[in-house]
Structure 1
Amino acid sequence: MALQAKEFPMDGFNLTDAEKSLSELIDRAEAGETIDILRDGRLVAKLVPVKPAVDKLNRRVDIEALRRHLDSQSGPVVESGAIVRTLRDEARY
């Protein structure tokens, strides 16, 4: 049942109409609209849009800031094999 624009009241939707049109109301909330749900003329719930999560994979990376950070973290260069041998030898005793 497609709702026509004239069927969307400005003050909210009664619970029965909201139940019948939930999918369409969710589409409207996804589009950024806040929907009021009424029971006997009283506001009982709001359907609100959820802010989209930040897609960490699509964020730009400041390469220069990353290089500066990595340079500030650098310590003495030690071969990984030496680290493993040290850990192994210390664990024996």
Structure 2
Amino acid sequence: MEISVSEAKAQLTDLVRQAEAGEEVILTRDGRPVVRLVPIRSKPTREERAAVLEAVRAAGAAAKKDDWPSAARSQDFLYGDDGLPA
């Protein structure tokens, strides 16, 4: 939604609520966009970051397969017995 700065003065509380709800609110001056109202996103706490890292580690451990080929030898099919590209 776009609204002029002069009109926004009377509706600031409603515009802030709309921005908090996720609606894009742009203030204009002389018909040109000059300001965008956006909600402030809180930074995750140390505990929240630790929980995300633990979830990623657990997902990685669960996906580990013992029967997967070794990455060290995964490109051998590209080379002949003489060690040159096939």
Normalised TM-score (structure 2): 0.48
* TM-score normalised to structure 1 length: 0.45
Structure showing greater Rg: 1
